[in-house]
Structure 1
Amino acid sequence: MRRLRRPQKKDAELDITSFMNLMIVLVPVLLLGMVFSHISVLDIQLPEGGADNPDQKDPPKLLELIIRQDGMALNYPAGVPLKRLANKEQSYDFDGLSLYLQDLKRAFQQKGIEKRDIIILMEPDIDYQTLVTAMDTVRSFRAVVVASDVDAELFPEISLGDAPAAAKAKGAKR
């Protein structure tokens, strides 16, 4: 009788070339994508409501930025007009605001006033991007120090609120 010899089975080799090619492409793409998903958090303080302290003789003077549809206004102390910035070409004058706040910060420092807070008051129909741009503008500005760009501090402690009702025009019927 004849015996059949079965061929011996060889261990199969794993071909991982395609998987390695995928990893070579995927890892750099994922690492580059991490830079674009950076989330920044900005701390803001809400104004304290109705808590008048009778022991406090001289209330602190508040710097206000009021944003309306027709422009922006700076008040210091609260309610006393300091500067009015009208819109230019359908947009707000954030460059002019930044320059004025830089001058104001220098004036405060020369008088020995350490002012770090500002209140941003907005009308209800102001869009979100305007708020973000205003917050970035009042918080800091780009300055060149020893041949490098840095963010110099203006008023980093930001509070938010609703703008007071606009004053009616003179001679308008009630």
Structure 2
Amino acid sequence: MRRLRRPQKKDAELDITSFMNLMIVLVPVLLLSMVFSHISVLDIQLPEGGADNPDQKDPPKILELILRKDGMALNYPAGVPLKRIANKEEGYDFDGLSLYLQDLKRAFQQKGIEKRDIVILMEPDTDYQTLVTTMDTVRSFRAVVVASPVDAELFPEISLGDAPALPAQAGGKG
């Protein structure tokens, strides 16, 4: 009698070459796309109310920056004009504002005043990009320390508010 031999089963080999090629391309693409989804958050505070505290002998002096269509005005303390920065032909003079705030910060430090807060007051129709650029300008400036650029601090504690109404023109109705 003859015996039937069954053919031996061979283990199938997996060909994962194409899968490895896909992973080699996909992993760097995913890692690179993570950089573009970074979100920045900037903390701001609401301006403190005008409630006067009778126990407080010397109320804190507030540095104000008022944004208007025709330019910017710095007040220190609040309501006392310090500097008016007119617009340039292309728009607000953020470079001039930054230079003046750097000088002001230096003057505060020389007098021993530790000032880190500023209140930005703007008109209701102020453009969003103008507000963001203003906040970036008053928060810090680019400086070179030991041959490398760094962001030096100006007034990082930012509060927002509405600009006061302009005084009525004199000589209106008579």
TM-score, normalised to structure 2's length? 0.89
Q: Equivalent residue for 2:169? A: 169
Looking at structure 2, the residues matched to 40 and 7 of structure 1 have their Cα atoms a distance apart, in angstroms, of 66
SS across alignment from 1:23: helix
Looking at structure 2, the residues matched to 43 and 99 of structure 1 have their Cα atoms a distance apart, in angstroms, of 24
Q: How does 1:1-174 map to 2 (within 5 A)?
A: 7-173=7-173
Structure 1 residues 172 and 8, CA, compared in 2 at 3 Å: closer, same or farther? farther
CA-atom RMSD in angstroms = 2.1
Looking at structure 1, the residues matched to 149 and 94 of structure 2 have their Cα atoms a distance apart, in angstroms, of 19
| 1:8 CA displacement | 4.2
SS across alignment from 2:82: strand
Aligned-residue sequence identity (percent) comes to 90
Can you give the 5+ residue segments of structure 2 that lack an aligned partner in the other structure?
A: none
Question: How many pairs are equivalent?
Answer: 174
Structure 1 residues 104 and 5, CA, compared in 2 at 3 Å: closer, same or farther? same
SS across alignment from 1:45: coil
Looking at structure 2, the residues matched to 155 and 112 of structure 1 have their Cα atoms a distance apart, in angstroms, of 15
Q: Which moved more, 1:43-52 or 1:152-161?
A: 43-52
| 1:37 CA displacement | 2.2
Looking at structure 2, the residues matched to 122 and 95 of structure 1 have their Cα atoms a distance apart, in angstroms, of 19
| 1:88 CA displacement | 1.1
Q: Which moved more, 1:10-19 or 1:142-151?
A: 10-19
| 1:90 CA displacement | 3.7
SS across alignment from 1:158: strand
Structure 1 residues 18 and 172, CA, compared in 2 at 3 Å: closer, same or farther? farther
Can you give the 5+ residue segments of structure 1 that lack an aligned partner in the other structure?
A: none
TM-score, normalised to structure 1's length? 0.89
SS across alignment from 2:165: coil
| 1:13 CA displacement | 2.3
SS across alignment from 2:27: helix
